[in-house]
Amino acid sequence: MPDLSTSTGGIHSPNPFWLASAPPANSGLQIQRAFEAGWGGAVWKTLGVPIQNVSSRFGGHTIRGVQGAGFSNIELITDRTLEANLREIAETKRLFPKNPIIVSLMEETEASWRDLIKQSIDAGADGLELNFGCPHGMCERGMGSAVGQEPAINERITSWAVKYSTVPVLVKLTPNVSDIVPHGLAAKRGGAKGVSLINTIKSIIGVDIDTFVPQPVVRNQSTNGGYCGAAVKPIALHMVAALAREKDFGLPISGIGGITNWRDAVEFILLGSSTVQVCTEVMLRGYPIVQDMIDGLQQYMRTHHFSRIDQMIGKAIPAYSEWGDLDMNYETVAKINADKCIGCQVCVAACHDGAHQCIHPQEGTRVPRIDESECVGCNLCQIVCPVPDCISMVSVDNGQKPASWNDHVTHGTQLRPKKGVH
């Protein structure tokens, strides 16, 4: 049986699945039910000076009929009293000593950070997560992403936290920056033991086109919120990978953003995460989703002969390269398996209108023909094809030696002739 135990920044966990700091980790009873269901750890809903929330506060993004494909919120940090949160942290720790509780914090002054850190650790926190990420409300008050967007402030506050903390400090980064790397490095300079990312993405989830009010609607107004859920996974994966492959970084990563199942979790781990956190999918489906995450991951590890999580962490990073280092002489063309084709010709429209006009209808059959001499191998047709394994991208032996753009620029290496350019 593969070993699922792992750790991020010295915070040990029986499995890599943590609740992200958000409504599913709002209270002791919730987190206890989550641990019961199998969650490895939990990042407590951000503590700070308790706030007051609005109604409504969430928005769902329906994409082609799939409800909740994306999700947004305008809620702030905890609205519960500090006493209640601390009491429940202690209680939950007593009941589930093996499951790490990471307490998320957001404060303003050094003194208030110091006090909150002490109280959290006294209550039993196994680690702290500094919330430098919230993109709405809190940042207007000079906290959250206002901190995460300024490396110098990030570093300073992280160093305060590290100074006052006896447990590992993780910094939760905001994706609302053009390049994540300086922010990860700032956290590192501040002494963080690891980072968590991503928090939510600044967004407007939609507009009610009949009442002219953006969503979510608060009486007759709205505000920008934080986007999350399945749709944000690609953005999160990139940011995680950008830090994982940064030579000067090297801190453990807790990956967050759009994780809905074990497959997503595996992707985050392969790109450098040692734990993963989930918020939206739990909000949409409940704690029991972790069962599939656990045994799906175990089965994946068995099939790939991994016995421990650390053997997987960052395994896809070596293959993540700069565009300039990709082999430009590698050539593929699309092939249609006529036996599988159902004749929708969606690929014809896609190629004609959105690619290189090289898939053509044929007389006497609904199965289209690919003009391979024109096909640039973009794989748009494969992406739109509704039939799995019907269109495949086949590599072409063009007799060319591998050559990247950088090889070409620096050494004048010959590139293959361009295709599809007229």
Ligand X SMILES: Cc1cc2nc3c(=O)[nH]c(=O)nc-3n(C[C@H](O)[C@H](O)[C@H](O)COP(=O)(O)O)c2cc1C
Question: Bridge partners of 359?
Answer: 370
By CB under 6 A, residue 279 contacts ligand X: yes
Q: Which of 91, 108, 115, 292 binds another protein (CB under 8 A)?
A: 292
Smallest separation, CB 185 to another protein (Å): 35
Between 77 and 380, name the residue whose CB sits nearer to ligand X: 77
By CB under 8 A, residue 2 contacts another protein: no
Selection from ligand X, another protein, none that 401 binds (CB < 5 to 8 A by kind) is none
What DSSP state is assigned to residue 99?
S
Report residue 237 as tokens.
Answer: 């994966």
According to DSSP, the β-strands at 127-131 and 101-105 are: parallel
d(CA 169, CA 48): 16
By CB under 6 A, residue 184 contacts ligand X: no
d(CA 134, CA 201): 9
Q: Which of 22, 266, 358, 390 binds ligand X (CB under 6 A)?
A: 22
Between 38 and 258, name the residue whose CB sits nearer to ligand X: 258
Cα angle for residues 345, 351, 356 (degrees, 5° grid):
150
Smallest separation, CB 352 to ligand X (Å): 36
Neighbours of 362 (CB within 10 A): 9
The full length of the chain comes to 422
Intra-chain end-to-end CA distance of the chain, in Å: 57
Selection from another protein, ligand X, none that 172 binds (CB < 5 to 8 A by kind) is ligand X
Between 131 and 329, name the residue whose CB sits nearer to ligand X: 131
Site mask, ligand X, residues 60-79, x = CB under 6 A?
-----------x-x-x-x--
By CB under 6 A, residue 222 contacts ligand X: no
In terms of Cα–Cα distance, which of 132, 134, 131, 126 is closest to 102? 126
Between 230 and 341, name the residue whose CB sits nearer to ligand X: 230
Query: What distances in angstroms separate CA 35 from CA 6, 47, 86, 92, 196, one per listed residue?
Result: 16, 20, 18, 9, 20
By CB under 6 A, residue 199 contacts ligand X: yes
134 among known catalytic residues = yes
d(CA 129, CA 102): 6
Q: Which of 79, 208, 295, 325 binds another protein (CB under 8 A)?
A: 295
State the number of binding residues for ligand X (CB under 6 A): 27
d(CA 47, CA 222): 25
Report residue 37 as tokens.
Answer: 């269901």
Smallest separation, CB 80 to ligand X (Å): 11
- In sequence order, the 6+-apart residues with CB closer than 8 A to the CB of 87 are 28, 123
- Binding residues for another protein, rule: CB under 8 A, are 261-263, 285-286, 288-289, 291-292, 295-296, 298-299, 388
- Binding residues for ligand X, rule: CB under 6 A, are 20-23, 45-46, 71, 73, 75, 77, 104, 131, 133-134, 172, 199-200, 228-229, 232, 256-259, 278-280
